[in-house]
Every structure is written in C-alpha cells, then in structure tokens.
Amino acid sequence: MIRYLISIFILTLIASVLQLFSPEFASWSDARIMILPLVFLCAAVTLDIAPMLALAFFCGFIWDAQNALASAGGDESVYTQPAEVLRFGYSIFLYGAMGMLMHGIQPLFRMGKWQVSTLLSGIAIFLYLWAEYLLLTFIRGELIFPIEVLKKISYSAILCMLISPLIFLLLLALAKRFGHQIKYQGYVWTSRYITPKHL
C-alpha cells in the first residue's frame, strides 16, 4: 500500500509537469486535457479515504501553485482576466469534493465496472471547472456564464473522459507492480454486502 501510494504521488508530480505542456484544441473551443485533475480523480477511486484526502491536499496545493498565483488568476485556457482577490488554497477543497464523489463509486470500480468511473471522471472535471469559474465570477461581482466558457469546460470534460481509461490502466499496472489490491478477489457483490463466492 505504501509503495503504491508513493507511486501515485510521483505520478501526480509528473502529471503537474505535463499539465504545463498540455495543448489547446482550437476546433474544440480551445479545450484541453486536464491531466493533473484527471490523474487525481482516477487515483481517488483506488485509494482509501485518508490517503485520498491527503492526495487531494497535495494536488490542490500544486494546482493553486501553478494557476492561482499566475497572472490570470486561474487556468489560463479558461480565464483571461486578472483575479487578484482569488485566495490560494481554494482548489484543495474542490479537489476534496471531487475525490469524495469518485470515492463513492469505489465498490463498482473494484468489481471491474470501470466504465462508471470513466463517465464520472468526465462529470467531475466538468463540475470542478464550472465551480472554479463560478467562484471567480462571484469574487469579481459579475455572475455571468458565457456560452463559449461552457463549451470549453464541456469539451475539456469530454477529452478527459476519453483519456481516463488509459490512466486507469496505468494505475492497475502500478497496483499490480507494488502489490496493492484494487479489485475484489473471490467475492461477489450483493445488495447489502460483499460475500465470498463459495457461500
């Protein structure tokens, strides 16, 4: 478990670097793949609650260090106006909320139903970017939501959803390499609890 958790933290550091070079897709309203949030969401469904919250703090801290302290005050592919009043640390709470959402479907993922997690990762990315944009507009005192921003957020969520199976495959490989059990072994799911197959 410890070695797997360390590998996840290293993976998020790599994702934070790759995020800086993530290209925008002009034909998709300048949307881009949100690599760091996506890696966090996929990892959240494979971890227990305490490590997941620790990872949420870690990823939120990195995200704010890269974005909230930048000149645009947020993700530069979405926000173009300065937001000097935006406070460092807000992303930690948003990452925690996203992580709890993903963690709620962990039993389904452990049963091998990764499709639900893939769909939810796209929804969670959409909700994160939407909440981040609403927070910025609220702070600026102008609650507006242009259609172009909605398209950009929606396309970014779709791109992340399409890429998420690759992240899940990587996490499964890391779990196998470091002896961390993600899937239930020798058990079946009932409506109330998990029971061994031989009972």
In a domain, 40, yes or no: yes
In a domain, 189, yes or no: no
- pLDDT value, residue 190: 38
Question: Taking a C-beta distance cutoff of 8 angstroms, is the pair 77, 152 a contact?
Answer: yes
pTM confidence score: 0.78
- pLDDT per residue as tens, the chain (199 positions): 788 999 999 999 999 999 888 888 887 788 888 999 999 999 998 888 999 999 999 999 998 887 765 554 455 555 555 544 456 777 888 899 999 988 888 777 777 777 888 888 899 899 988 888 888 787 777 777 788 888 999 999 999 999 999 999 999 899 888 887 876 544 443 334 444 444 4
Q: How many domains does the chain have?
A: 1
Phi/psi for 4 (5° steps) reads -65, -45
Nearest by Cα to 183 from 192, 165, 171: 171
Residue 107 belongs to a domain with what CATH number?
1.10.1760
Alpha carbon distance 56, 39 (integer Å) = 11
In a domain, 65, yes or no: yes
